Amino acid sequence: MRPVTAHDAGQWPVRHMVQLVLLVLVLQPVVLLLLFVDVAPANGTAPTSWVHTALAHLTRLVRAGSSEARADGAARAWSMTLALKGAVMMQAWYCTRMHAWYTLAEGYERREKPSELRARQRTASQQIEALALSALSLPLLWLLALVMVVLVGAPVNAQLTGTLTLAAYLALFGLWPLTHMLGTPPSALWLRILTAPSTMLPRELIVLLPCVGAWLGALVGALPQALDWGRAWQAWPVPSVYGAVAGVVLGHLCRAGGTRGAPVVL
């Protein structure tokens, strides 16, 4: 199959662009917000509206703990560890939906016929199977992320739990989407990305930039910890996790569009 370049790629339909915007600029940020902002009523207070009720149920589903869990730094750091359950669920959903979008985008860029585009659409069982196989790499990705954060100075003594938690978030946000959608290196695709990044297609950048943003955000988020203010949000690894989440969202906002034939989606 002839590789597609940015100069001869076909256009994405408007509906495909709308799906992308809804996925990465609406749905994923909302779920990320529910992961780290507890909107459930505190101290047994009744919800004030059906919207508040729905959000309260959602936030209880994707995160553990309660409003009181943010009372001090240690409790807030532990709530980050508990929220990993929701992060795994959210990223599993994101990888599944984004992979379906990515596969169709490739077909549009190749100007494939409708019958060929339909053949690219996977059944639910095929999507679950692909996700399960991809999830088998998570322990290895977590170890890789752990090595990388330790090499840049993450603590491994009394704050080891926080370091392990941050590595888990970076594996989920900064590595898993790459391996699920772009495959694992070494491959011709990764060789092209690493040696000639200017040849990357818009759909590849849409996958890559949020992952890079997660790593950069975690690094920037670690800077406030050097300031001895004694605030709860400065507890390790709280600012780095917040930074990683912000980096994911900013990566989507800052992703590059295409050149000829590939639309700019902002």
Stretch among 152-156, 228-232, 246-250 having the lowest mean pLDDT:
228-232
Q: Which helix (H) or strand (E) holds 81?
A: helix 73-82
33 vs 50, which has greater pLDDT?
Answer: 33
- Which pLDDT band holds residue 147 (cuts at 50, 70, 90)? very high
Give the model's pLDDT for residue 4.
57
With respect to residue 249, please indicate whether it lies within any of the assigned structural domains: yes
Give the model's pLDDT for residue 179.
94
Q: What is the DSSP letter of 222?
A: T
98 vs 32, which has greater pLDDT?
Answer: 98
With respect to residue 227, please indicate whether it lies within any of the assigned structural domains: yes
The two tokens of residue 195 are: 């040696």
Displacement of CA 178 from its chain's centroid (Å): 10
Residue 69 pLDDT more than 60?
no
The two tokens of residue 9 are: 């790629």
With respect to residue 6, please indicate whether it lies within any of the assigned structural domains: no
The two tokens of residue 6 are: 């940015």
Give the model's pLDDT for residue 158.
79
With respect to residue 265, please indicate whether it lies within any of the assigned structural domains: no
Residue 139 pLDDT more than 90?
yes
Q: Which domain holds residue 162?
A: 14-253
Average pLDDT over residues 132-150: 95
Task: Compute, in degrees rounded to 10, the torsion defined by CA atoms 11, 16, 22, 27.
Answer: -110
Residue 122 pLDDT more than 80?
yes
With respect to residue 101, please indicate whether it lies within any of the assigned structural domains: yes
Find, among 28, 29, 49, 53, the residue nearest to 40 by Cα: 53
Give the model's pLDDT for residue 66.
46
State how far the Cα of 82 lies from the Cα of 92, in Å rounded to an integer.
Answer: 17
- Which pLDDT band holds residue 214 (cuts at 50, 70, 90)? very high
**What percent of the chain lies above the pLDDT cut of 70?**
78
Give the model's pLDDT for residue 227.
75
With respect to residue 240, please indicate whether it lies within any of the assigned structural domains: yes
With respect to residue 129, please indicate whether it lies within any of the assigned structural domains: yes
* Residues in contact with 213: Cβ distance below 8 Å, sequence separation at least 6, in sequence order: 246, 247, 248, 249, 250, 251, 252, 254
Stretch among 44-58, 161-175, 213-227 having the lowest mean pLDDT:
44-58
State how far the Cα of 173 lies from the Cα of 152, in Å rounded to an integer.
Answer: 18
Long-range contacts from 235-239, C-beta under 8 angstroms, 24+ separation: 235/72, 235/73, 235/74, 235/76, 235/77, 235/162, 236/77, 236/155, 236/159, 236/162, 236/163, 237/77, 237/80, 237/154, 237/159, 237/162, 237/163, 237/165, 237/166, 238/73, 238/76, 238/77, 238/80
Residue 33 pLDDT more than 90?
no
Give the model's pLDDT for residue 259.
35
Query: For the segment 161-197, what is each residue's pLDDT rounded down to a tens digit?
Result: 999 999 999 999 999 999 999 998 888 999 999 998 8
Q: How many domains does the chain have?
A: 1
Query: pTM, whole model, 2 decimals?
Result: 0.85
With respect to residue 4, please indicate whether it lies within any of the assigned structural domains: no
